Amino acid sequence: MRGRRGLTGSTAVSDATGVTFQVWSDHTILTRLYMMRITSRSRQEKSIREGP
């Protein structure tokens, strides 16, 4: 048993849950950043096509 690690816990179960949650949240953040990147890129392309 290692002590407290990650977001939660004193027990192995909560520790494992914390790790799982961290991985899931990291994946969600990466997905959001990726989607934001795509939308911003499409906006730039639109503005370039339309021109001044």
Whether the Cβ atoms of residue 7 and residue 18 lie closer than 8 Å to each other: yes
Answer positive or negative: Cα dihedral of 10, 14, 16, 18. Answer: negative
Residues of the chain with pLDDT under 50: 1, 3-4, 7-10
pLDDT of residue 21: 64
Full-prediction pTM beyond 0.75? no
